[in-house]
Chains A and B, each alone.
Chain A
Amino acid sequence: MTRPLSLPLWGRVGVGGGRLRHNSAPFRDLHPRPFPTRGRGERRAGGPAIPLILAALLIMAGDVAPALAHGGGDVAGGFFGGFLHPLTGPDHIAAMVAVGLWGAVLGAPALWLLPVAFPLVMALGGVLGIVGVPLPRIEIGIAVSAIVLGLMVAFMVRAPLAIAVAVVAVFAVFHGYAHGAELPPGADAIAFSAGFVIATGLLHLGGVGLGLAARRPAGRIAVRFAGALIAIAGMVFLAAAL
C-alpha cells in the first residue's frame, strides 16, 4: 500500500516526495472530458436532476479512483473478470442453474436454503484451491454435479432437506475449488471474488425463477426437460473430462 503523505499530518506539509497523482494539475488537462458539455444556457430548465447528479458522481468516481491508496488493481476489470468466470464455463452454468431448479422443485425452505448454503461451502472449496490442497479430478466432480443435479430435477426427486443440502454442499466444494485455484492474487481479488460469487448467485436465482414454473402443468414438463438437458450436458462434460 502506498502512503505518499507521511503521518502524523502536522509538521509534514508538502511531503510525499513530490509524487503527483495522474489527475493532479500538470496531468489534469491530458484527460479528455468523458461527456460533451453543454454551453451556458443550453441546459433545459427543470431538466432531470438525478441523472445529472449520477453522471457527475460517475465522472468524479472515474477521476478519483486511481488516486486512492488502495490502487494497484483494476477493480472494475477484476469484478467483470470474476463475473464472467462462471458464465464462460458451461459446466458451471449447468450446475448452478440446476441448484436453483432443484431448490424450486423442493419448495421452501430448500428454495432459499440451497442458494444460501452453496456460496458458503463454495468459499470453503475455494480456500482449499487457494491454499493448494490437492483435490483430484475437479473437472470430473463438476461434470458429475451437473449430471446428478440435472437428474434430481428431471425426476423431481423430493429428497429430505438435509440430504439435498449435503448433496449440493459436496458439489459446491468442487466448483469453489476450481474458482479458488484461478483467483488472481493482487488488489483486485475482492472485486474478482465479488464478481464470481454474485454471478453464481444470480445463476441460482435464475434457476429458482425457472423452477417456479413447475407450479403449472406445462411448466412442470419444461422444468423436467431442462433437468434432463442439464444431465445430458453433464455427461458430455464428463466424457470430455475423462
Chain B
Amino acid sequence: MNPVAHALVDGLLHPLLAPAHVVALAGLAVAAGRAGLRLATVAAFAPGLIAGLGALAWGVGETPAPDVLLAVAGFCGILAAALPRVPAWLVVALAPIVGIAIGLDSPPEVTSLKEAVLMLLGTACGGVIAFAVLALAAFVLGGVGRGIVLRVAGSWVAAIAILVLALRWVTA
C-alpha cells in the first residue's frame, strides 16, 4: 500500500485500535442505547470529533484527553448500569466531549503534511462510522431483555475505565 493510502487507512482504523477510544465509544454508545437514542448522539459526536482534530492540527499540544475519555466512559458505564432510565440530554451533552477528546488524542504519526491531513480525515470518518455502528447496535440491544444486556455491558465499561484511571493516576 502506498504511504498516502496507508495514512488514510491508519486514520480510518485509529479509533478502533486505540483502547481508550474504544472504551469511550463503547461507554457512550451503551449509555445512548439505554437512553433510547439512535443517531442524536452521533450528530452531537461528529462536530466534537472534527473540532478536536481541528484543534490538534492547529497546534494544541499534550492534553489530558485520555483521562477525560476514561472518566466519561466510566461515568457513562455507571449511568447505563445503575439508572432505570438514562437521561437523553445528558448523553447528548457528553457526546461532543468524547468527540473532542478523541480528536485531541489522535496525533498523526507520519512524516509528511499530506499523510497527516489524510490521516486526520480518515480518523474523522472512522470515528463517526465506528460510533454510528456502536450506537445503532446499542439501540438494538436496548430492546433485548429490558436493557439487561446494556446494563451488564455498562458495568463492564465502568469497571475497565475506573481501574485504568486509577492506574494512570498512580503511575503518573
Bound-state CA distance A63–B1 (Å) is 10
A16–B110 touching, CB < 8 Å: yes
Q: Chain B binding site: helix, strand, loop or mixed by DSSP? A: helix
The total of Cβ contacts below 8 Å across the A-B interface reads 161
Chain A residues within an 8 Å CB radius of B117: 9
A197–B156 touching, CB < 8 Å: yes
Partner of B9, one of A60, A126, A190: A60
Bound-state CA distance A198–B19 (Å) is 14
Spell out B's residues near A (CB within 8 Å).
Answer: 1, 3, 6, 9-10, 13-14, 16-20, 23, 56-62, 70, 78, 81-82, 105-113, 116-117, 145, 148, 151-152, 154-156, 158-160, 162-164, 166-168, 170-171
Q: Which residue of A lies closest to B110 (CB)?
A: A5
Closest 3 CB pairs of A and B: A190-B19, A8-B59, A123-B159
B163–A116 touching, CB < 8 Å: no
Q: Size class of A's contact patch?
A: 35 or more
Please list 26 pairs of residues, one from A and one from B, whose beta carbons are closer than 8 Å in the complex, sorted by A's number.
Answer: A3-B109, A7-B59, A7-B60, A8-B59, A9-B116, A13-B112, A14-B113, A16-B110, A61-B17, A68-B14, A68-B18, A69-B108, A69-B109, A70-B18, A70-B19, A75-B19, A112-B151, A116-B154, A120-B78, A123-B159, A131-B170, A183-B167, A190-B23, A190-B160, A193-B160, A193-B163
Partner of A5, one of B111, B151, B162: B111
Q: Which residue of B lies closest to A179 (CB)?
A: B163
Q: Is A64 an interface residue (CB 8 A)?
A: yes
